Structures are given as structure tokens and as C-alpha cells.
């Protein structure tokens, strides 16, 4: 007589192991570790390739210093500064300019985008100017801004604003237009007012596109800032790169580029964190 299966021998498939969501949660830390490990390997591989190119003298040492030489330049900058300014001063002034210009672009661009998406008259009034200004390189505004406002802080902030605001406006319009019509119809069927539909249906649906525009815009903002500091500034990371480049201090130039990249990436991460807080239903990378 074959042995009978007892209750203790049965495998319960109704628990967490049978739940796909539970399996994903259980596997998530492993994939996160793999992802982080991959990132570290990629960075180390880049440094290794840089070192090999330097050792082989593919470029002259004055044109491409070795990673160790760049590290020594960073230490000197941290201890002594360059051009009469410390590295922290340059980081602070550039970050402050970015913060003011970028936040201003968001505070102005998002409401304008919402109005343009909801009101056809306003759209037709603003869109020609938006489409005219959008393809103009930010560098083209610098001579006018310098003539109008001098070389103080205002023209740099305005350049960031002018360069970033089209991205924010277009992203906001795209988000509102992408709101599923079925959601709006259901809300109206349930008796929601126009204000309630906007707050609880349209705005939440548009937020993912708005945050995407912000993530794109922060890169544009840094591009505008560095362009402004290269031409009309006596302090900041863009000025540091320009000033060191004129003296053929390539190690310091590379340090400035790396710092700009790290700061831009850090601001991108901040936007991602804010997005996770306000758009928790969207998948995040």
C-alpha cells in the first residue's frame, strides 16, 4: 500500500512564496545589490581605462593627466583654492544660481503650462513665443543680458530661467494632455466639480510628465549656468573651468567638470526623491 500524504508533508502554496508580489519583494534587495555592484564596476572600469590611456601616452600628459594627478589637483583645490577663491565658494555660488533660476522656472513654467493646456486662447497667445524661443541656444541671450543687466547675478539667473522654462512648460502641457479622458468622464459622472477634477484627476495625471521635465530641465539649467559663467563671471564652477583652461591647468579643468557632473547628478537624485514622495504610483528607476 503506497504511503499516504499527511498534512505535515503538504506544501502550502497559498503563502508568501506563491504570491508573485511577495516573490518580487523578496528578490528586490538582491537586484538592488546587483545594480549597485554594476554601477561600481562601471565607474572603476572607466577609471581603469583612463589610467591605461594615460600610461600609454595616447594623449600628452598636459592634455590628459592621470587620475592620480587629478586627485592631487582636487586636494590642492580643497586646501588652497584657485584664482583667489576656494572650491567650496565656487560650488556654493554656482549651486545658488542654479537653485534660484531653476525654482523660478518651475514656479512660472508649471502654472503657464497648466493654463495653456486647459485654455485654448491662452495656448494660442503664448505658444508662438514659446516655439520661437525654444530653439534659440541659451548662449545667444548672453550678450543681450549682459548689455541690459550687467555682469551681476541677475543675468545668470535669467539665462537659467530662459533656458529651462520651455522644457517645464512643454512637459506640463504634455502631462495634462495625456490625462485619460475616461478618468475625467468618471469624475464628472460622480458629480465632481471642475476644481475637483483638476486637483484630483488632471494634476495627479500630469505630475509624472512634470517631474520628467524637471529632470531634463536640471541638465539644461547647468548648461546655461556654465555658459554664463564662462563669459560673464568672476566666480563659480564655470569660471573655474575657464580660468584654469586659459592657464593650461587641465587637472583643475577636469576637477571642475567632475564636480559639475556630481552636483548635477545629486540634484537629479533630489528630484527623484521628491517624485517618489508625490508620485508614489509611478515606477521609478
Tens digit of pLDDT for each residue in 51-108?
888 777 777 777 888 888 889 888 888 888 887 788 898 899 999 999 999 999 999 9
Closest CA relative to residue 241, chosen from 115, 52, 73: 73
Which pLDDT score, from 0 to 100, does residue 146 have? 82
| Cell 465632481 found at | 192
- Residues 67 and 51 sit within 8 Å (Cβ to Cβ): yes
CA atoms within 13 A on the CB side of 190: 11
Which pLDDT score, from 0 to 100, does residue 161 have? 92
pLDDT in tens, 132-167: 888 888 788 888 888 888 778 888 889 999 889 999
Closest CA relative to residue 210, chosen from 171, 173, 176: 171
The Cα angle at residue 49 between residues 47 and 50, in degrees rounded to 5: 60
Distances (CA, A) of 64 to 73, 230, 238: 13, 21, 19
pTM of the complete model: 0.77
What is the average per-residue pLDDT within 7-21?
45
Which pLDDT score, from 0 to 100, does residue 11 have? 41
Least confident of 3-7, 101-105, 171-175, 260-264: 3-7
Is residue 8 over pLDDT 60?
A: no
Length of the chain: 285
What confidence tier does 5 reach under pLDDT thresholds 50, 70, 90? very low
Which pLDDT score, from 0 to 100, does residue 30 have? 59
Neighbours of 274 (CB within 10 A): 12
What is the average per-residue pLDDT within 16-29?
47
What confidence tier does 284 reach under pLDDT thresholds 50, 70, 90? low
- Residue 230: Cβ-neighbour burial (10 angstroms; 0-12, 13-18, 19+): middle
pLDDT in tens, 195-250: 788 888 888 888 889 999 999 999 999 988 888 887 767 788 888 888 888 888 88
Q: Which three cell numbers stand for residue 9?
A: 508533508
Which pLDDT score, from 0 to 100, does residue 63 have? 80
Amino acid at each position: 500500500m503506497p504511503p499516504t500524504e499527511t498534512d505535515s508533508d503538504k506544501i502550502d502554496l497559498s503563502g508568501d512564496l506563491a504570491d508573485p508580489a511577495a516573490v518580487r519583494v523578496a528578490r528586490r534587495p538582491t537586484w538592488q545589490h546587483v545594480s549597485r555592484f554594476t554601477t561600481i564596476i562601471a565607474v572603476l572600469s572607466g577609471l581603469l581605462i583612463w589610467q591605461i590611456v594615460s600610461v600609454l601616452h595616447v594623449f600628452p600628459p598636459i592634455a590628459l593627466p592621470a587620475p592620480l594627478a587629478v586627485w592631487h589637483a582636487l586636494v590642492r583645490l580643497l586646501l588652497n583654492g584657485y584664482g583667489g577663491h576656494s572650491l567650496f565658494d565656487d560650488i556654493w555660488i554656482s549651486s545658488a544660481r542654479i537653485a534660484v533660476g531653476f525654482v523660478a522656472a518651475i514656479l512660472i513654467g508649471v502654472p503657464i503650462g497648466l493654463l495653456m493646456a486647459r485654455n485654448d486662447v491662452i495656448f494660442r497667445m503664448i505658444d508662438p513665443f514659446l516655439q520661437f524661443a525654444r530653439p534659440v541656444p541659451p548662449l545667444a541671450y548672453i550678450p543681450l543680458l549682459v548689455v541690459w543687466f550687467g555682469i551681476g547675478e541677475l543675468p545668470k539667473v535669467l539665462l537659467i530661467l530662459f533656458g529651462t522654462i520651455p522644457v517645464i512648460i512643454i512637459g506640463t502641457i504634455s502631462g495634462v494632455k495625456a490625462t485619460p479622458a475616461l478618468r475625467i468622464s468618471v469624475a464628472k459622472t460622480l458629480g465632481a466639480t471642475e476644481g475637483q477634477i483638476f486637483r484630483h484627476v488632471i494634476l495627479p495625471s500630469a505630475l509624472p510628465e512634470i517631474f520628467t521635465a524637471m529632470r531634463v530641465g536640471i541638465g539644461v539649467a547647468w548648461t546655461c549656468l556654465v555658459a554664463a559663467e564662462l563669459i560673464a563671471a568672476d566666480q563659480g564652477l564655470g569660471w573655474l573651468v575657464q580660468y584654469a583652461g586659459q592657464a593650461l591647468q587641465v587637472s583643475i579643468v577636469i576637477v571642475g567638470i567632475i564636480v559639475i557632473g556630481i552636483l548635477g547628478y545629486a540634484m537629479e537624485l533630489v528630484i527623484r526623491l521628491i517624485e517618489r514622495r508625490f508620485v508614489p504610483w509611478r515606477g521609478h528607476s
